[in-house]
Structure 1
Amino acid sequence: MTQSGVSQHIKKLEEQLGTPLLLRDGKQFSLSDAGRKLYQEGQQILQALSNVAQHIGDDPAFEGTVRIMSPGSLGLKLYPHLLDLQVYHPQLSVEYRFAPNHDIENGVVSGDADLGFVTRPSDSPLLHCQPIAQEQLLLVTPASVAVPHWQDLCALGFIDHPDGDYHASLLLQPNYPQYKGSKTFTRKGFSNQIGLILEPVSRGLGFTVLPAYAVAAFDKSAQIRTHTLTTPVSETIYYCCRRGEALPRRLTTVLDEARKWL
């Protein structure tokens, strides 16, 4: 800028702030007290702007918050391993919520979650879903049931859960021709807490169908029995994220960890 241009800008600044920034003495000048304050604060502002630009362009693989939603069974499997990852990388913060498929889809679409794991592909045009693994469904009875004959299941009754009818239909329909829906059985209980669904089964109060990771996490394994049926059934696990958005490296880190353990 020319000297006259600089002088005009300084004059406009003085008018805006209502105070002189320069002490003028002929062709000489020095900074007023207000001028020194403006200079010092201006340096801090410019440095802050530089830091913002650098921070926005930074994409660390092991720093920042990752918000995840998944069905409970997957969460029981994944969350401990993600905590191990966080122990090695303390700048990584993992926020994990258990939820049914529909709530997971809504959470990712709304931005409440960065990444979702679901057991059914979404038909939302706002989501990108990709298969990542398989999880077997298991028939679980009290330990006293050696072979799950149809009459034994009818006598026991069904321990229901939020996905109980869906899981039972997937596994029992191809294995028991008598099956006509979970209402075929007497409903002996219900729980929406993934860690408690097998508690009544362990006490001989009924049977249920659950994904394998939920069964593996139950701490009273001696009191239940899982059965391999003639036609095994597995659910496909998908990860979903907002369509058209590139995943930050910290989310890629979590996805790689999920692939490793699932």
Structure 2
Amino acid sequence: MLDLMRLFGQVVEEQSFTVVARRLGISQPAVSNQMRALEEKLGVKLLYRKGKGFALTSEGEVVYRHAKHILEEWSELMREIGGSERLMNGKVHIGASHIPGEYLLPIYLASFRKMYPEIMFKLSIGDSLEMAEKVLAHEVDFAVVGAVFDTEKLASQFWLKDELECVVSCDHPGWNQNIDLNTLKEYPVIIRETGSGHRRAFEEALAERGLDLQDFNIALEVGSTEAVKNAVRAGLGYSFLSKHALEFCEKQGLVWTNVKDLYIERGFYLLTRRNKPLTLIADECYRFLVTQKPHGIIPK
């Protein structure tokens, strides 16, 4: 019965059978059948069609109000008796931009799964804007991105700091280890695609100095950090990369170089739908990530 009430609450909050079915990985008819089963158990009609959607009957409003209270009390009960781990199973679908998705989250999710081995994760990786859109479309539970998206429907919580620094191939001839920003404009540069938090941070840092990407010699625009690294390693040009992606850059055929008067800093943020509660397991995972801090990155 608790599962039926939980499903009913999700349908009401999302206002969509399709969205709930997608999130749970089941068919829309399966959700409809479960709602009918709940109505039969209670002996009342909970929903009725209204235009292209649906609305709650007066009985449905009463059931929804009590269902929320019952589920909240049940979760609190399980937490107090140390039984929340028995509820911690199922799937958490997380969206992530490239740096947190490829270099940070796998480590933290492994630690989290040691506490709750019944949980399965799905990790979708793309640029920050794409992940924000997935959060809005209910395609992921929450996301970790490299840009702020505080809107009417999205909420961002700061997670940790990132720094971008200039990298060049170890074999690059005559590269100055303490180069001037204006001199950089003469060399070919590799940049990330529009929509990435990485590119946004780079553009904002340039704008503060009265510069624009069009002032630079753009050789290549790519959609992933690994593609940037490979292009730099091949000698196609220099780029700016996250320190999280290059802990031992010399071993990867790359070297850091200092750019005078240019410091690029950004944050990684946990992104959720505003005023939309996460599932129990997604919320537990979110709270776990909030408490985690990376090693090896020292704030300036």
TM-score w.r.t. length of structure 2: 0.58
| Equivalent AA in structure 2 for residue 126 of structure 1 | K
1:125-153 alpha-carbon deviations (Å, 9 max, x no partner): 22222222221122222334322234652
After TM superposition, the structure 1 stretch with the greater mean CA deviation from structure 2, 91-100 or 155-164, is 155-164
Q: CA deviation at 1:165?
A: 4.7
Residues 208/97 of structure 1: CA separation in 2 closer, same or farther (3 Å cut): same
Q: CA deviation at 1:95?
A: 0.6
Which of 278, 281, 287 aligns to 1:247? It is 278
Q: What secondary structure, in the 3-state scheme, does the structure 1 residue paired with 2:226 have?
A: coil
Residues 233/201 of structure 1: CA separation in 2 closer, same or farther (3 Å cut): same
Q: What secondary structure, in the 3-state scheme, does the structure 2 residue paired with 1:135 have?
A: strand
CA contact (8 A) 1:76 1:217 kept: no
| Equivalent AA in structure 2 for residue 192 of structure 1 | G
CA contact (8 A) 1:63 1:250 kept: yes
Which of 179, 201, 212 aligns to 1:167? It is 201
Which of 198, 207, 215 aligns to 2:238? It is 207
Aligned pair 1:183/2:214, yes or no?
Answer: yes
**Aligned positions of 1:226-237 closer than 5 A:** 226-227=257-258, 229-237=260-268
TM-score w.r.t. length of structure 1: 0.66
Identical counterparts, % of pairs: 16
| Equivalent AA in structure 2 for residue 116 of structure 1 | A
**Aligned positions of 1:219-230 closer than 5 A:** 220-227=251-258, 229-230=260-261
| Aligned twin of 1:97 | 124
Distance 1:107 1:204 in 2: 35
Greater relative contact order structure (CA < 8 Å, 6+ sep):
1
1:230-251 alpha-carbon deviations (Å, 9 max, x no partner): 4533212221212223333422
| Aligned twin of 2:94 | 68
Aligned pair 1:127/2:154, yes or no?
Answer: yes
| Equivalent AA in structure 1 for residue 99 of structure 2 | S
Q: CA deviation at 1:104?
A: 1.6
Distance 1:181 1:158 in 2: 13
1:43-99 alpha-carbon deviations (Å, 9 max, x no partner): xx9xxx8xxx99996684542211111210111222321134335633111111112
CA contact (8 A) 2:201 2:266 kept: no
| Aligned twin of 2:106 | 80
Q: What secondary structure, in the 3-state scheme, does the structure 1 residue paired with 2:186 have?
A: helix
| Aligned twin of 1:192 | 223
Query: RMSD in angstroms over aligned alpha carbons?
Result: 3.3
Distance 2:71 2:284 in 1: 19
Q: What secondary structure, in the 3-state scheme, does the structure 2 residue paired with 1:116 have?
A: strand
| Aligned twin of 1:17 | none
| Equivalent AA in structure 2 for residue 240 of structure 1 | L
Q: What secondary structure, in the 3-state scheme, does the structure 2 residue paired with 1:196 have?
A: helix
Residues 80/119 of structure 1: CA separation in 2 closer, same or farther (3 Å cut): closer
CA contact (8 A) 1:202 1:220 kept: no
| Equivalent AA in structure 1 for residue 185 of structure 2 | C
Aligned pair 1:157/2:188, yes or no?
Answer: yes
| Equivalent AA in structure 2 for residue 69 of structure 1 | G
Q: CA deviation at 1:173?
A: 4.4
CA contact (8 A) 1:165 1:182 kept: no
Bigger-Rg structure (1/2):
1
Distance 1:70 1:109 in 2: 14
Report how many residues are paired: 209
Distance 1:173 1:142 in 2: 26
Distance 1:96 1:80 in 2: 9
Q: What secondary structure, in the 3-state scheme, does the structure 1 residue paired with 2:225 have?
A: coil
